[in-house]
Structure 1
Amino acid sequence: MSAAQSIDRSQFAPLKNDLILRAARGEVVERPPCWIMRQAGRYLPEYHDVKGKRDFFETCRDAEVAAEITIQPVRRYKGLIDAAIIFSDILVIPQAMGMKVELIDGKGPHFPEPLRTPSDLQKVLDYEVDVLKELDWAFKAITLTRKNLNGEVPLFGFCGGPWTLLVYMSEGGGSRLFRYAKEWINLYPELSHKLLQKITDVAVEFLAQQVVAGAQILQVFESWGGELSSVDFDEFSLPYLKNIVERVPKRLIELGITEHVPMTVFSKGSWYALDKLCNSGFDTVSLDWSWDPKEAVKINNGRVVLQGNLDPGVIYGSDEIITKKVQYMIENFNGSKKNYIINFGHGTHPFMDTEKIRFFLKECHRLGSN
């Protein structure tokens, strides 16, 4: 796999706020840290000002623009957000593996040549992936973002989960029926495992090199985890998630990074898998909004840090409703001082009121500090 990047880590300022790193390590903290999935993006007017007429991936590949977009919510909600997450996309791994991916406004991701036959798949399996070369722009964006954050908050790197990426690569985009992905795992299970392993190998290198570039905490998004049965999750998702979390720390040591980098897994809709995910090796398990915090805490039984899980739609509600539901969430995630990170149960929506999100963040601080 790829050689190490050469990054001068002395250029990075000392952290002023390490709350999320301490919480992710399972330490008792003064209040639960808070960040939001998709906190940088379309609901912010300043995002559109900076993005201009660039398409999505063009925006991601411009290090200065990506860094600016990443930092926008940290700047807007100064003192209220405890982490930044690099502005990028989970589909950069398929791109690195030689597949063309477009992001069409109003439609979402589109693969002009999805994987539909074994011969299609063989092209991807035979493709030699040079992660440092193919995703050089991503590492440059992370390094610049970390430098421009000036130690304000830690920076998340991330990748898509292998099963989720297989879905996009076979379906050609989002799906309701998951016909082609289900065909792969049921008609060609051995080939599916070969693809999942190759995605996993690329993901390990990509995550490790993000840390070299400046990321201080990592998250794996298994966004379509809930589309698998419990039995299929155990075969086609969980082993590869565990492979990632086992191998990234070893690869980091090879790259000269010995400090512990917390890792989070978010497997949306995987209600049957929480117990297994709590034993998978990740420091933090992020929950979608379908979970009652009390039940999740009971299943977890103190093994890992839990993250989440407010329904993003609550932001459309009144201030009184936001307060009520934030209070319930915080109180029922173990009283909030240990093993908990506040987040939504999924990402922001483009239509959200920025001041409602500010109110949500302020309530998280107020109620979490009690």
Structure 2
Amino acid sequence: MCDFAPLKNDLFIRAAFCEKVERTPVWAMRQAGRYLKEFQEVRAKHDFFTVCRTPELACEVTLQPLRRMELDAAIIFSDILVIPQALGMEVQMVPGKGPVFPKPLANPEDLKTLNQTPDVDKELGYVFDAIKLTRQKLDGKVPLIGFSGAPWTLMAYMVDGGSSATFSKARSWLFRSPNESKALLDMLTDTTIKYLVNQVRAGAQALQVFESHAGILGSSTFAKFSLPYLAKIATQVKKQLSDLGIQRVPLIIFAKGAHYAIEELSATDYDVISLDWTMDVKRAREICAKKSKALQGNLDPAMLYAGVDEICSATKKMVEDFGVTGHIANLGHGMYPDLDPEHLKAFVNSVHSASEEIINSA
């Protein structure tokens, strides 16, 4: 690991471990992205995966939102689908359509075509280089978050070949070919563990796992084809980091739509359970408090289409609902491309003022 500047703002880290904070820390999923004019200028010159694979460009777009607003964490600019690429699959980012796999996994026999034990340093070294450079450029201002897609979510894209409302092709595998599905999920899990550990070795100070398509699985299917792999990732990443002498790297799980699995997720080794905007905050607090787990979330991203006064009012209520201790403020999903950056800034500032008001009145 490199020598980096000491962390000046550790609110995010302390909140993740349910420690005392002076105010609620705040960041936003997809805070580096298309809603920013300066990001659009970079993308006008470079395609999406070129930005991901060029450390200087990935660093630049990671830092862009921090120049506009007082965020308490940065998240490295990358994509969850770099892992399928490392396994040998082609992924294209098509304007107006999103990710497309020209040759998705058509049947379980296609698993033989994958690079099942990729050299993560070789295949994904550009991510680690971007993390290292970004940590240097941050100069200790805020923590840097690394991330990965979760095995089920990655499998869903790899089989369906792109975004889908139902991911029916991938879900059919779970029932028609459960053993082959588990083999693929095991492969993705092992690669994800190596990937996340190496992100920390490169300089990431926290990690988030995105199970973006948990909501299309029922509770029993989630328990069989998602939860065990999520749990293994958290346990093994923590163990391997501990073996390296690395401490205080919080792990966040964001299982979108998994309202039915809050209790099960709180029993894993993740430190923070991230909630989407549809989830019951009171119920999640009651469950996660028993396990000393922090919560993250969960303002509806669409609320940022409202006026500034409405945003401030909704944000204040969100902060009050969560309470200050053990809460990282965020949206319930990522920023939408046509949102006004000034409305995200209003959200950020409202988190600051509302949480400080609660603490000062206590």
TM-score (norm 1): 0.94
2:208 alignment partner in structure 1: 219
2:117, 2:191 within 8 Å by CA — same for their partners in 1? no
What is the CA-CA distance between 1:53 and the residue it aligns to?
Answer: 2.4
2:157 alignment partner in structure 1: 168
Aligned residues: 356
1:92 alignment partner in structure 2: 82
1:291 aligns with 2:283: no
What is the CA-CA distance between 1:166 and the residue it aligns to?
Answer: 0.5
Cα distance in 1, alignment partners of residues 53 and 129 from structure 2: 9
What is the CA-CA distance between 1:302 and the residue it aligns to?
Answer: 4.4
1:30 alignment partner in structure 2: 22
1:91, 1:101 within 8 Å by CA — same for their partners in 2? yes
Cα distance in 2, alignment partners of residues 193 and 289 from structure 1: 30
Q: Which 10-residue stretch deviates more, 344-353 or 43-52?
A: 43-52
| Matched letter for residue 239 of structure 1 | P
Residue 154 of structure 1 is aligned with which of 133, 143, 167? 143
Residue 124 of structure 2 is aligned with which of 123, 135, 139? 135
Q: Which 10-residue stretch deviates more, 221-230 or 285-294?
A: 285-294
1:311 aligns with 2:300: yes
1:60 aligns with 2:60: no
Moved over 6 A (4+): none
Per-residue Cα deviation, 1:246-305 (whole angstroms, up to 9, x for no partner): 001222244x34313100000000110011111111000000000132222123234200
Residue 347 of structure 1 is aligned with which of 317, 328, 334? 334
1:122 aligns with 2:112: yes
TM-score (norm 2): 0.96
Matches within 5 A, 1:14-29: 14-29=6-21
2:360 alignment partner in structure 1: none
1:300 aligns with 2:288: yes
Per-residue Cα deviation, 1:67-98 (whole angstroms, up to 9, x for no partner): 01001111111xx2000000000001101111
1:302, 1:339 within 8 Å by CA — same for their partners in 2? no
Residue 265 of structure 2 is aligned with which of 277, 286, 289? 277
1:369 aligns with 2:359: no
Q: Which 10-residue stretch deviates more, 343-352 or 297-306?
A: 297-306
Cα distance in 1, alignment partners of residues 117 and 33 from structure 2: 33
Cα distance in 1, alignment partners of residues 252 and 279 from structure 2: 17
| Uncovered stretches (5+) of structure 1, i.e. residues with no partner | 1-6
1:103 alignment partner in structure 2: 93
Q: Which 10-residue stretch deviates more, 80-89 or 256-265?
A: 256-265
1:51, 1:65 within 8 Å by CA — same for their partners in 2? no
What is the CA-CA distance between 1:323 and the residue it aligns to?
Answer: 1.8
User: 1:300–1:249: structure 2 CA closer, same or farther, 3 Å change rule?
Assistant: closer
User: 1:253–1:293: structure 2 CA closer, same or farther, 3 Å change rule?
Assistant: closer
1:236 alignment partner in structure 2: 225
| Matched letter for residue 248 of structure 1 | V
1:212, 1:257 within 8 Å by CA — same for their partners in 2? no
Matches within 5 A, 1:244-259: 244-254=233-243, 256-259=244-247
3-state SS of the aligned residue for 1:52? Answer: helix
1:3 alignment partner in structure 2: none
2:296, 2:328 within 8 Å by CA — same for their partners in 1? yes
Per-residue Cα deviation, 1:151-183 (whole angstroms, up to 9, x for no partner): 110000000010000000000011123221111
Cα distance in 2, alignment partners of residues 177 and 308 from structure 1: 25
Per-residue Cα deviation, 1:312-332 (whole angstroms, up to 9, x for no partner): 011111122112211111111
Aligned-pair identity in percent equals 49
2:208, 2:251 within 8 Å by CA — same for their partners in 1? yes
What is the CA-CA distance between 1:32 and the residue it aligns to?
Answer: 1.1
1:180 aligns with 2:169: yes
Please report the RMSD computed on the Cα atoms of aligned residues, expressed in angstroms: 1.1
1:263 aligns with 2:255: no
| Uncovered stretches (5+) of structure 2, i.e. residues with no partner | 358-362
What is the CA-CA distance between 1:358 and the residue it aligns to?
Answer: 1.1
Matches within 5 A, 1:201-212: 201-212=190-201
What is the CA-CA distance between 1:30 and the residue it aligns to?
Answer: 1.2
1:49 aligns with 2:38: no
